[in-house]
Amino acid sequence: MRTAIITGASSGLGLECARALLRSDPSMHVVLAVRDTGRGAEAVKQLGEPQRCTVMRMDLASLTSVRAFAEDVRAATLPPLHAIVCNAGVQVVSGTEWTEDGVEMTFGVNHLGHFALVQRLLGELAHPARIVVVSSGTHDPSKHTGMPHPRYTSADDLAHPRAEQSADDGRRRYTTSKLCNMLFTYELDRRLDHGVTVNAFDPGLMPGSGLARDYPPLQRLVWRYVLPALRVLPGVRSTHTSGRYLAALTNDARFDGVGGEYFDGLRPIRSSADSYDRDKALDLWSTSERLLTHATK
């Protein structure tokens, strides 16, 4: 038996990834890392494999919670840990919100919480192992996604931004956090030995997913009911389809030894020019380490 941890696994892409992993590999045990254990328990019922699922609480907006989760994993009687799927994400568009640690919420959940999780569990991974980070095509200005282009000045600016300047600031923080996912993926892959591979994944546009929860009512209505009809278009996918792709990157033998790549579905592609900027990657890494150190004092 082997274990895969999936963040944000109670619904959407994370739930579908768990479903695909359980169906494709009878030796796989899935840890659903969720904020709400009640919703996690409901997800286990939907998956129909209670003996191969464990629900554990973790709030990525709290570095204390991430630390406690890692301790719980170490203390639990689980099969060897072979995969971490950094899937959970938020998009805050109605003002600025802050994590428990005083970090801007989008950066804190989408990047910093996952950075902390991976750092605390690296020593628990049984080789060969895989880490998959869910990013987004919105990180790349050349994709013309309709979202504001990312703006990476420094990681400290992202963690502690000034007051909002425009209505687009929240959406830009989201696209910039997805650029951070790319920078983290590549830098982590450079730093790890050959026993652990790290890749990033673009699930495509997934109408009906929870990312629009903070949108105004009319936009939420369009996201939930109108956009699903566009799944015939390139780059628009159901959570079920993207979940299968994400599970394959997590476990399929086709990707043994493949690391440092960015996948659109199951196809490796080039990411944005900024995502290969080592100076930005090192700034993000050092700032993230400092934020983690301060949180433990």
Please name every residue paired with 4 in a beta bridge, in sequence order, or none if there are none: 30, 83
Q: Which of 152, 174, 186, 245 is catalytic?
A: 174
In angstroms, the CA 187 to CA 133 distance is 12
174 labelled catalytic: yes
Which positions are annotated as active-site residues?
174
